[in-house]
A and B are shown apart, each in its own frame.
Chain A
Amino acid sequence: MATQSLEEHAGGVTSQTFADLDRVVLPAARLDDLFDALHAEGYPVLGPTVRDDVIVIAPVTSCDDLPRGWGDIQDAGVYRLVPREDDAYFAYAAPAGTWKRHLFPPQSVLWRARVVRGAPVIEENQDRPGRRALLGIRGCDLAAIAVQDRVLLHGAHPDPVYTARRADLLLVGVTCGTPASTCFCTSMGTGPSVGGGADIAMTELDADDRARHRFLLEARTPAGQVVVARVSAQPVTTADDAAADAVVRHAGSLITRSVDNDGLPEALRAGAEHPQWDDVAERCLACGSCTMVCPTCFCTDVRDEPNVLAGVDERVRVWASCFELGHSYLHGGAVRPSPRARYRQWATHKFATWWDQFGTSGCVGCGRCIAWCPVGIDVTEEIRAVATSTTDG
């Protein structure tokens, strides 16, 4: 039994639901039309771009800023860009950068307080970035936004910073055609196609043939429809649809890593003393890289940063990691002092207790943690080891 995908959890939104909204084909040579349409509707664009030999998410103004002609190789502890022979714009897997840092910034000032006539007066940070378009989000990262929505938006206390940055977004997803060896979106039900939550879904077709290189654009929401309507494009043919389906099928067939979600949460919860945690503890540096690149990790430190001379006390929130020794600090010491306990906490939270807390898995299968671990720990193998012998027992 496959575990419910995030789409199903979010209410079963798939591309079939939007068959009656605009679907068009845009030649690759006219990709800037999409930028123009987004700009005309008041959306500055954030998207993938090459910087310092990796692909990050940053402001992009035209298709020239996109990683045209770049692909990647990712494996445990490996990330490398490789030039392609074609002009594909999206022929890589999970970028090094995350969309998370634009919705959930590494550092935020929540409020500033001054003392006025003996009492503190607090001024909340009301910054609101306004409309933005996120262009080129893969299914896994789109699912990650949905996961973070559950944590930061749909709880009893919506987070003010995330709420402000989440509103007014236009999400332009892109079908993944070239997964890396680190990817396992198919196991987590998050890809390779673009799932629920996107305003527009794009599929890149025939990048290796300049004459036929094109994008299938599909508006999924009224907001997406407004943008797609501005793009002068061609109608979608059955051949286009067949080609798009083939991209998804082919991408799915390239995925090598997997997670068996069946019974996994129970196995992890029951496996707190499994010897595999001792095994991984001998390799894990507790550096926290995995949590920094993970698109769903949300832990933060919330603290005051007073500047007494200036008379200001700022409440700041900064990214934190459960791998930090001080993360679980209580009464003069850490509840989880050993790296073993901290790795166990991260993996068990991501794949088991996240279900209890938020009704989904915390993992979307993007594979970043595997690529960016400096010692190449593969979380899919670690949890498989815990689950396998636990169920055998």
Chain B
Amino acid sequence: MSATPETVPSRAGRGSMTPVPHRVVDVVHETRETVTLALEPSSDAIAPPVAGQFTMLWAWGAGEVPISVSALVDGGRLVHTIRDVAGVTKTLCASKRGDVLGVRGPYGRGWDVEAARGHDLVIVAGGIGLAPLRPVVHTVLADRSAFGRVSLVVGSRTEQELLFRAELDGWWHRHEIDVRTIVDRSSPGWSGSVGVVTGELVGLSIDPTTTRAMVCGPEVMMRVVAQHLTDRGVAASAVEVSVERNMQCAVKTCGHCQVGPFFACTDGPVLTWDVVESLLTVREL
């Protein structure tokens, strides 16, 4: 035998590129182009994901896409919120109860919720970015006294695109976390703020020595928010962002998701601003 072989995976084990069948048990149309699917394993479950992780969701005949988990549930159930941007996501968003999809994962480095315990936490979500952050809010509310001051700033294109609207209202009414929503452009009946998320952050009182931040949304938005927070004295290593790149294998072998030395699928998608700032500010890296 050769000097450094590994044994071939046994037939009983499933290869890392093979999806695990899961049945759609619930479909919620959050907005006109966003759907939340709840999935139950057809037989085997995958390992339970943590907040910030993603799976590769597969629809037969269409393909796979990386989708973050948008809620953490027991018993092998998976909850994903998917935005229809054509292609595979269109097929996934058209799923009906009873359809069988494939799941690989969970993959990636998630939000460091443990490090936030005992600290103030600023959560900034833009657009679909609220989906990967929702599990963090759930965790905070389930153990509220473990965290300091918690603020959630949600940016959206318009009121119609706001995700989890009823839940947001519920969180606001509980008055346990400071919830602020702001839209890029107003629409009739909108009585909330109009502007960019940093506009809301300006009015937020922050103790930079004890504040951690989790930011998720379009890269432009994450850049300006992280910059704003670090300008105010929050440590760059305490600001987490979720990096997105072209992902195909999700297991560090296809090469597509590289951003500098990092593989977004494995070293990320959650990375801290101190390691990622210099990379995201180089054009076309």
Contacts and interface: CB of A to CB of B under 8 A. Distances in A.
Q: Is the interface of B mostly helix, strand, loop or mixed?
A: loop
Interface in A242-279: 269, 272-273
B4 interface: yes
Interface of B: 1-9, 11, 14-19, 21, 23, 42, 58, 60-64, 85, 98, 100, 102, 244-246, 248-249, 251-256, 258, 260-261, 263, 266, 282-285
Interface string A127-157: 0100000000000000000100101111111
Interface residues of A, number: 74
A168 B7 CA distance: 9
A356 B279 CA distance: 14
A273 B248 CA distance: 28
23 contacts: A13-B3, A110-B18, A111-B15, A111-B17, A111-B18, A120-B21, A120-B100, A122-B21, A160-B15, A166-B2, A171-B3, A199-B2, A299-B255, A302-B17, A303-B248, A306-B60, A328-B246, A335-B245, A335-B285, A340-B284, A345-B258, A353-B258, A353-B260
Interface string A187-211: 0000000001111000000000000
Nearest to B218: A331
Given A153-B4, A220-B3, A353-B260, 6 more contacts: A167-B6, A167-B7, A221-B2, A301-B254, A335-B245, A357-B263
Contacts of A345: 258, 285
A64 B251 CA distance: 43
Contacts of B2: 166-171, 197, 199, 221, 223
Nearest to B5: A167
A156 B252 contact: yes
Contacts of B255: 298-300, 320, 322
Contacts of A197: 2-4
A168 B1 contact: yes
Nearest to B60: A120
A87 interface: no
Given A111-B15, A119-B21, A300-B253, A166 B5 contact: yes
A5 to B, nearest CB: 16
B102 A122 contact: yes
Contact of A302 (B3, B6, B249): B249
Contacts of A301: 248, 254
A173 B62 CA distance: 44
A158 B9 contact: yes
B8 A122 contact: no
A317 to B, nearest CB: 8
B1 A223 contact: yes
A53 interface: no
Which secondary structure dominates chain A's binding surface?
mixed
Nearest to B267: A357
Contacts, number: 170
A337 interface: yes
Nearest to A332: B85
A336 B258 CA distance: 11
Contacts of A335: 245-246, 284-285
B18 A124 contact: yes
Contact of A126 (B5, B11, B245, B246): B11
Given A304-B63, A341-B284, A357-B261, A152 B253 contact: yes
B91 to A, nearest CB: 11
A272 B285 contact: yes
A211 B14 CA distance: 56
A155 B253 contact: yes
Interface string A320-353: 1010000111110001111011000100010011
B246 A304 contact: no
B262 to A, nearest CB: 8
A158 B18 contact: no
A159 interface: yes
Nearest to B259: A335
A196 B3 contact: yes
A301 B2 CA distance: 28
A313 interface: yes
Contact of A272 (B60, B98, B253, B282): B282
Given A149-B4, A353-B260, A163 B9 contact: yes
B209 to A, nearest CB: 31
A299 B102 CA distance: 24
B100 A119 contact: yes
Nearest to A196: B3
